[in-house]
Amino acid sequence: MNRLMGTGLSMEIAQHKILQETDIQLAPGELLGLIGPNGAGKSTLLRGLAGLLDLSAGDVTLDERDLQSYHPDVRARKIAYLAQNGEAHWPIKVQRLVELGRTPHLSAWQRPGGTDEEIVHNAMRATDTWTLRDRIFSTLSGGERMRALIARALAVEPEIILADEPVAALDLAHQLDVMELLLDHCRAGGSAIVVLHDLPLAAHYCNRLQLLDKGRTIAVGVPSEVLTQENLHQVYNLVPRSESFSSDIFTLPWTTSRSQGGTGHE
Amino acid sequence: MSTLTAKTASEMNQGMLLALLGLLVVSLVVISLFIGSNPIPVFQALQESLDDTPTVLSMILTEVRLPRALIAAFAGATLGLCGAVMQGLLRNPLASPGLVGSSSGAAFGAVAVLYFGLGTTFWAALPLGGMLGALGATLLVYLLAGRDASIVTLILAGVAINSLALALISLLLNLAPSPYAVREIVLWMLGSVASHSMNEFWIMLPGVLLGSLLVTGNGRALNALTLGEDTARSMGINIVRLRWQLFLAVALAVGSAVSITGAIGFVGLVIPHLLRPLVGYMPGRLLPVSALGGAAMLLMADIAIRLFPAGTEIKVGVLTALVGAPFFLYLILKTRRAQL
Amino acid sequence: MMLSRSILILLLALFSANTLGAKKPMRVVSTNLCTDQLLLMLAEPGQIASVSHLAVEPESSYMAEQAKRYPLNHAEVEELLTLKPDLIVAGAFTKKATVNLLRELGYRVEVFPLTSNIAEIKRNVEHMAQLLEQRAKGDELVQEMEKRISTVQAEVPNRALPSLFYQPRGYTSGRNTLHDEALILTGWRNVASEHGVNGYGVIDLESVLLAEPVQFFTSDYGQGSDSLAQRQLQHPALRLITGGKPMVNVGFRYWICGGPMIADAIEQLAEIRNR
């Protein structure tokens, strides 16, 4: 059973084909990496799956039901979307920002209650942002910001997280942090699709990868099947530096102390 | 870290804040009843107004001071609320009914209704004209500036539409066979709450209430918009519907208020700004707070102009502009610094 | 010595009267509504070359009908010159630059002052009559005006009642205005003057109500048009304070320029007082 599935997804803007008949599947517990060069259609595909885009053609189903048939609130409770360059337009506190994740669960008049507070608290503990709760979001460092935004997404308690380049502009340690958080979500039964540029990072953390180029899927499968010499040459025009190329070289030689030690630092 | 948290130390409990502001507004209304061009025994007037036959004192209280206070309170609340709505919706601290053309559009709509003699056809003609004018001007600015307009683009579009509205108002008033034309222009562009009767208050009220009703319940959506349109939509917010609903709400409320008071400036800009830190910068929580704050500001301004020596006729809009314009400049400088 | 000097003065006077008589103006141009009306009242039809465009507006001109027979001007120097005037009569509001230029070009320009009382009206009428060589007509006009006013004065009750001229946006006429004199002549007290308004000014609604006027007058110009300013005249308190008596409109044309037509306005004010 697929949790989220797209079939024949196409997007055309001003006769420019951004996405062409792309299929995509996401299973429960799975962390799927969307990779490909700039302009490959990764963000468009992700926005289409999030229901943020009126696709030119194709169907998206969530839990085997047409995504369009969901009430926006219901859909919003199942899918959390992490936008590229996530920002806050007002200088709000981190805790308030995370609380916004409860939006789909509250009616227009409702204020967050005790359970909501607990969920927000948990999300902030999981992302190590509880100590930042009274800080103004815009004053945080890049890594702290991303963790807060992930906490916001986790506060939705979604089945699926769709994250658009969440590690862009982060230093290596913070990149690993973010990937660990997404992996935690999937280990706990959720699933996620994450757009990435860093191939070793993608190979290390993702169960499966989907390689896009010019709006088409070039390859999909476990990292070793996707990150082949041929595919990389075709899509990125890359050639191996040495003859002993194997997808093993995408293994990361390090990990965060947090995941190593088993407990988070608080 | 301590300096960063200090920035939000001013945040207040919402219930407490609303209660305090509500109390302030009620006190100002009462004070407003006590202040006029002539000192009158207000309690005696109150007693007399309970009798059937009107006396001079009761008339001054119920026919002059009461409508003045009520119109100031409701017009101020409208401007404060709509300022908060527009700033939240456009995620732009400089958006306000005055700057994005709603007010001057409403003034033009009302002047057109009066000029073409429609004002006497039925009571709602005047506020309806104001509403259409406000909606038209707001949409024009929005279309001119584009959806994700920068602050500068939005202000420029607003300047253009404001000038156009002013030109059209002047044209109509100059065509009208009235020696009061120039004074009318001043009234429409600066605004005044003086010398109205309860009739004008009743004319203004339905649009103001309807507009406010359309705004309520959208606080959650405005909060979510803090994280950008995509994220807000991913959280179940229907942005298109939200935008139309709020534009319509602003048009209804501002159109009605301005068609009676003229375009009173800067309340919608200053008030949301001053109060935002007190609600932790949450656009949704800002809405009711800003409405009360707007009412308080206009009431205070209207009380202040009555403290000037008798005979000097200063319009309340003059005072709000004197306070608001320097504040506006300060905001521009601040946003400029933030962009550097 | 004294005698010879008196004779000299007399001779000079006779001489100048003769020359003036010989130069009876036959192409008089008026550039201002106020001089228009005096001219139309006093001149023989052949003496008038042109009146201002406002003279034909019935709202503001008492002589609108009569003015229609003459070419209209807009007080622009060029059009005035083409009219070949031998006398130009202008008002206090005529542009200084225009008057100076016309004088430099050798035209005779007479500027009439504003009037804020009946004595000044008489002076203006007499001045115009003298310029037009129509003294007899001028005297007749003044005498008739005075006769009508004194008749009215004799009829109105002695006790003066509070009243007020109330215009859109709270404008009113206080001391040293025609309105003030007319009200006082016809058995009214002027609330605006008592409130301290001098000339034309603003009076606030509360002060108006506190004075408890029994009658409101207005001379609203834009009758029939609608504006927020005019809506102020419909304030319910204004009706309540006078016990439901409607505001009486005494036309704009009686007041905008001082002239013998003030007698009409005075008769109207007295009629209301006598009711």
Chain B residues inside the 8 Å CB shell of C230: 180
Chain A residues inside the 8 Å CB shell of B234: 50-52, 76, 79-81, 83
Spatial distance between the Cα atoms of C143 and C145, rounded to a whole number of angstroms: 5
Q: Is A166 on the interface with B (CB under 8 A)?
A: no
Q: pLDDT tens, B75-84?
A: 999 999 999 9
For Cα atoms B170, C114, C230, give the angle at the middle one, nearest 5 degrees: 35
Query: End-to-end distance of chain B based on CA atoms, in angstroms?
Result: 23
* Both structure tokens of C134: 């129509």
Chain B residues inside the 8 Å CB shell of C235: 63, 195-197
A135 and B1 within 8 Å at the Cβ level: the answer is yes
Domain with B317, as residue range(s), is 83-305+312-339
| CA quadruple B296, B302, B303, B309: dihedral, nearest 10 | 160
Domain assignment present for residue B65? The answer is: no
Domain assignment present for residue B54? The answer is: no
pLDDT of residue B211: 97
Q: pLDDT tens, B153-206?
A: 888 888 899 999 999 998 988 887 666 667 778 788 888 898 899 999 999 999
- E-state strands within chain A: 4-13, 16-26, 31-35, 57-62, 65-66, 79-82, 160-164, 191-195, 208-213, 216-221
Which residue's entry shows tokens 């009076």?
Answer: C203
| B91 pLDDT above the threshold of 50 | yes
pLDDT of residue B2: 35
Q: pLDDT tens, B116-127?
A: 888 778 888 999
How far does the CA of residue A191 sit from the closest CA of chain B (Å)?
A: 16
C206 and B177 within 8 Å at the Cβ level: the answer is no
**Residue B99 near residue B161 (C-beta atoms within 8 A):** no
Regions of chain C short of the pLDDT cut 50: 1, 11-22
Rounded to the nearest 10 degrees, the angle between the axes of helix B14-34 and helix B283-307 is 20
Instruction: Please list the alpha-helical segments (H only) found in A158-198.
Output: 172-187
State the amino acid at position B135 in one-letter form.
L
B184 and C196 within 8 Å at the Cβ level: the answer is no
CATH of the domain at B160: 1.10.3470.10
Q: What is the DSSP letter of B61?
A: I
**How do beta strands A65-66 and A57-62 pair?**
antiparallel
Chain C residues inside the 8 Å CB shell of B64: 205-206, 209, 237
How far does the CA of residue C237 sit from the closest CA of chain B (Å)?
A: 6
Closest chain C CA to residue B306 = C204
Q: What is the pTM of this model?
A: 0.87
**Can you tell me the mean pLDDT for B211-239?**
94
Chain C neighbors (3+ CB pairs < 8 Å):
B
Query: Could you tell me which CATH class the domain A4-261 is placed in?
Result: alpha beta
State the amino acid at position B110 in one-letter form.
A
Domain assignment present for residue B60? The answer is: no
Q: pLDDT tens, B237-275?
A: 999 899 999 999 999 999 999 999 999 989 999 999 999
* Both structure tokens of C217: 């007058």
Say whether B186 sits in a helix, a strand or coil: helix
Nearest to A20 by CA among A197, A213, A232: A213
B56 and C229 within 8 Å at the Cβ level: the answer is no
Consecutive 10-residue averages of pLDDT for chain A (266 residues)? 91 89 95 94 94 92 94 95 91 95 88 90 93 94 93 96 92 90 94 95 94 95 91 87 69 71 41
Q: Is C226 on the interface with B (CB under 8 A)?
A: yes
Q: Find which of A44, A62, A85, A100 to mutate to test the B interface (most B CBs within 10 Å of its CB).
A: A100
Do at least 3 CB pairs under 8 Å connect A with B?
yes
Domain assignment present for residue B4? The answer is: no
| B69 pLDDT above the threshold of 90 | yes
pLDDT of residue A266: 34
Say whether A92 sits in a helix, a strand or coil: coil
Domain assignment present for residue B109? The answer is: yes
pLDDT of residue C21: 46
Spatial distance between the Cα atoms of B293 and B313, rounded to a whole number of angstroms: 25
**Residue B244 near residue B234 (C-beta atoms within 8 A):** no
Reported ipTM:
0.90
State the amino acid at position A208 in one-letter form.
R
C240 and B54 within 8 Å at the Cβ level: the answer is yes
Q: Which domains does chain C have, with CATH numbers?
A: 23-136 (3.40.50.1980), 157-274 (3.40.50.1980)
Q: How many domains does chain B have?
A: 1
Which residue's entry shows tokens 């003496």?
Answer: C47
**Can you tell me the mean pLDDT for B94-114?**
91
Say whether B340 sits in a helix, a strand or coil: coil
B228 and A79 within 8 Å at the Cβ level: the answer is no
**Residue C112, beta-bridge partner list:** C91
Domain assignment present for residue B301? The answer is: yes
Nearest to A136 among B4, B221, B228 (CB): B4
For Cα atoms B81, A138, A163, give the angle at the middle one, nearest 5 degrees: 100
Q: Is B54 on the interface with C (CB under 8 A)?
A: yes
Spatial distance between the Cα atoms of A78 and B216, rounded to a whole number of angstroms: 27
* Both structure tokens of B12: 């207040």
Q: Find which of A47, A52, A92, A105 to mutate to test the B interface (most B CBs within 10 Å of its CB).
A: A92
**Residue B248 near residue B135 (C-beta atoms within 8 A):** yes
DSSP assignments along A154-223, one per residue: HHT--SEEEEESTTTT--HHHHHHHHHHHHHHHHTT-EEEEE-S-HHHHHHH-SEEEEEETTEEEEEESH
pLDDT of residue C5: 57
Segments making up each domain of chain A, as ranges: 4-261
